[in-house]
Amino acid sequence: MAYKNFKRIGIFIKQGQENAINIGVNIAKWLLKKDIEVLAEDEVSSKLNLSKYTRLEIAKRCDIAFVLGGDGTFLSVARLIIDRDIPLMGINLGSLGFLTEITLEEIYSTLEAIFTGKCIIDKRMMLKAEIFRNNKKLNEYTVLNDVVINKGALARIINIETSINNKYLTTYRADGLIIATPTGSTAYSLSAGGPILYPDLNSIIITPICPHTLTHRPIVVSGDDIVEVKVNSHDSDVLATLDGQIGIPVKNEDLIKIQKSPKKTYILKHPKKDYFELLRNKLKWGIF
């Protein structure tokens, strides 16, 4: 992929954050000096008298997407460009941010690396989740991090019957269940005691949330496997949450089928950074 040929850059910012707007303006000025077309949301474009575009219009037209904010903003943009196979660069504005890994100090060295063809691109596995009710498919979603089935605050423990490739695994009695990609291994799954997986692995993580049976532990299966979960709960307060941003009500006997998606997310990385450095910095390893 010849990065130096990319001439139309989309800038997406965390809504309402003044710091993100100012940084977006400065990046846009840097790009404009290099005769690169900038597509930015109104909060940035209005300060530079640029053409105004909606977030969806930017996603349809840009060659590279720059995301200023946290992982939540990154995930929302990743969904917008899911059919375009274009890379994203996540710029972290102070939160933990495993996806928005470029620091403020690294912005311009990373930009230089992009346009001199030295930047690294990661191809990240995604999951396809299909929701069935009475043997009819209700919806289909694609996620980068995870699919979470969980109960509401007042609901009782739920039973989640789980199978792998049509072979019964177990029925979790728990507050919920997380099915995650390697990228999502450092998100909710990690908080629930799941393992950290190197993002290039072809694997799916199944992590129970507060299981009633303590011997129910996280399990890692092949990325080529198909995970099916059936909710056995008469509580109305059960949700399937997709990448922590889309919540779908789940009824008793609903089936959720989860497998590797043919789509991928492409992430631009600083050429001098590696994943282990990211883990050390984000998780404060070695700091006593």
Confidence of residue 7 (pLDDT cuts 50, 70, 90): confident
Confidence of residue 288 (pLDDT cuts 50, 70, 90): low
Q: Compute the mean pLDDT over every residue in the chain, rounded to the nearest whole number.
A: 91
Q: Cβ atoms within 10 A of the Cβ of 210, count?
A: 14
pLDDT in tens, 248-276: 999 999 999 999 999 999 999 888 888 99
pLDDT of amino acid 1: 42
Q: Is the pLDDT score of 15 beyond 90?
A: no
Q: Is the pLDDT score of 82 beyond 50?
A: yes
Q: Is the pLDDT score of 4 beyond 70?
A: no
Q: Which two tokens stand for residue 228?
A: 């099916």
pLDDT in tens, 170-197: 999 999 999 999 999 999 999 999 999 9
Question: What CATH number is given for 3-119+270-283 in this structure?
Answer: 3.40.50.10330
**Helices and strands (DSSP H and E) totals, the chain:** 7, 16
Nearby residues of 123 by Cβ (< 8 Å), 6 or more positions away: 264, 265, 266
Q: Which residue has the higher pLDDT, 127 or 100?
A: 127
Q: Is the pLDDT score of 5 beyond 70?
A: no
Sign of CA dihedral 187, 188, 191, 195: negative
Active site residues: 71
Q: List the chain domain ranges.
A: 3-119+270-283, 126-262
pLDDT of amino acid 272: 85
- Residue 163: is it exposed, middle or buried by C-beta count within 10 angstroms (0-12/13-18/19+)? middle
Q: Is the pLDDT score of 97 beyond 60?
A: yes
Mean pLDDT of 66-81: 93
Mean pLDDT of 203-231: 96
pLDDT over 90 for what percent of the chain?
Answer: 72
CATH architecture for segment(s) 126-262: Sandwich (2.60)
Report which secondary-structure segment, H or E, holds 64: strand 64-69
Confidence of residue 2 (pLDDT cuts 50, 70, 90): very low
Confidence of residue 116 (pLDDT cuts 50, 70, 90): confident
pLDDT in tens, 119-175: 889 999 999 999 999 999 999 999 999 999 998 776 678 999 999 999 999 999 999
